[in-house]
Amino acid sequence: MNNNIIPHQSLVTPEQRAALTRQRPCVLWFTGLSGAGKSTLSSLVDAALHKRGRHTFVLDGDNMRRRLCRDLGFSDADRTENIRRVAETARLMTEAGLIVLTAFISPFRSERMLARSLFAPGRFIEIYVNAPLELVEQRDPKGLYRRARRGEIRQFTGIDSPYEAPEQPELELDTARFSPEQCVRTVLAYLEEHGLLNPPADAGAEDERAQADAPRPDRV
């Protein structure tokens, strides 16, 4: 590590930012095979939370690959770096007070463990979007499985690169059995049950302290 790099400490704490949003920041980490329904469900949950007045943001795999991670390929090392960047971005967003939804295959358990390690207990919710390979190949909305079967795409998850299913996810959504609407209700119920949609108990006090400590014209 470069000894010349000194972390900057903000005058506003993550707790104070969370108090303003009046919610408990966390990351909803959707993982599963391509075509399992990650992007669909993360978008639907995002819309449902927005309708409830929650502050959210979706980090989608394809969008991140086109921007922040466009220099990365699909080797195991590049996939690990891709997820590291996503996890760090999600962490920063939760420090800003947001509920972050990520939709990435993230095929390796070690990657997901690394991502989880960046968050406080209870603030990383791993959501396994489970659909059998046969079903996602039938769906194949982008034609990726057909191309992988023809050998046009190498190291494609589920074909010639493994997917390591979560062993103890917070939630498992079986999109072969349940509709998107049912899956969304399951996610919202989990968030409510674990108090993640409620403001912290001391949110009001934190808000008052944040306002009291804010610079005023006569104090600058």
Task: Name the residues annotated as catalytic.
Answer: 106
CA–CA separation, 130 vs 212, rounded Å? 48
The alpha carbon torsion through 74, 110, 34, 158 (nearest 10 deg) reads 80
Q: Where are the beta strands (DSSP E) in 5-97?
A: 26-31, 56-60
Q: Say which amino acid occupies 25.
A: P
Q: Is 112 helix (H, G, I), strand (E, B) or coil?
A: helix
CA–CA separation, 195 vs 112, rounded Å? 23
